[in-house]
Structures are given as structure tokens and as C-alpha cells.
Structure 1
Amino acid sequence: MAVPKRKVSKARRDKRRSNVWKLDVPAFSKCPQCGELKAPHKVCTNCGYYKGVQVLKKEA
């Protein structure tokens, strides 16, 4: 089994672990019904449509 020859310093260890927090910004797309920005593959919170079908009843 492979064993490290030298102790990994705290700085080197923390540099390696520091990339975890860099998360991608969620992508947004325009709703074809109302043009509002929404998350892809989700129901539009503004108009209630998903793939051209009204899923949620929204009062105008």
C-alpha cells in the first residue's frame, strides 16, 4: 500500500481543498410563455407553465 513519504503541510492540504466552495452559478432560461427568467426543467413561478402546458393555476 502506498504511504506518503513526507507529511503534507497544512498550506498544501488547504490549497487542494479550497476548490470545493467554487460552485457554478445556476443556469437560467427564459420562459416561452411570459419571458420571465426561470430555472431549466422547472415550472415557471411567474405564469405556472411548463413545456407549454399550464401546470399551476395563477391568478392574474
Structure 2
Amino acid sequence: MAVAQRRTSKSRKAKRRTHYKLPKVTLVKDKVTGEYKLPHRVDREN
């Protein structure tokens, strides 16, 4: 098993983790109610 010989610096660790982020949430404005919701979702009408 590979074990690090030296400590990984904060900057090196941060460079590796630049892609570890949450995706931006896409919201769509509902034409009827005007509220924002996730796209491709069906409205519940009671």
C-alpha cells in the first residue's frame, strides 16, 4: 500500500480539490404560479 513520504501542502491539496464542488441548481419560473421550481417536474393540482 502506498504511503506518502512527505506531508501534502495546503495549496497542493486545494489544487486537487478544485473540482469537488456542488453543481449549480437550475430553477425555472412557473408560468402559472410564478414560483421557481426544478425543471421537468409535474405540478400537483388538487
Q: TM-score range by the shorter chain?
A: 0.5 to 0.7
Q: Percent identity of the aligned residues?
A: 28
Q: Residues 8-34 of structure 1, C-alpha deviation per residue, up to 9 Å, x if partnerless?
A: 85122x1233221x2232011101121
The equivalences for 1:27-42 within 5 A come to: 27-42=26-41
Aligned partner of residue 15 in structure 1, secondary structure = helix
Provide TM-score, normalisation by structure 1: 0.45
Runs of 4+ in 1 over 6 A off after TM superposition: none
Q: Kindly tell me: are residues 16 and 26 of structure 1, through their superposed partners in 2, closer, same or farther at Cα, counting changes over 3 Å? A: same
- The structure richer in strand per residue is 1
Q: Which has the bigger relative contact order, CA under 8 A and spacing at least 6? A: 2
Q: Where does residue 22 of structure 2 map in the other structure?
A: 23
Name the count of aligned residue pairs.
39
Aligned partner of residue 16 in structure 1, secondary structure = helix
> Gaps (5+ residues) in structure 2?
none
Provide TM-score, normalisation by structure 2: 0.53
RMSD between superposed Cα atoms in Å: 2.3
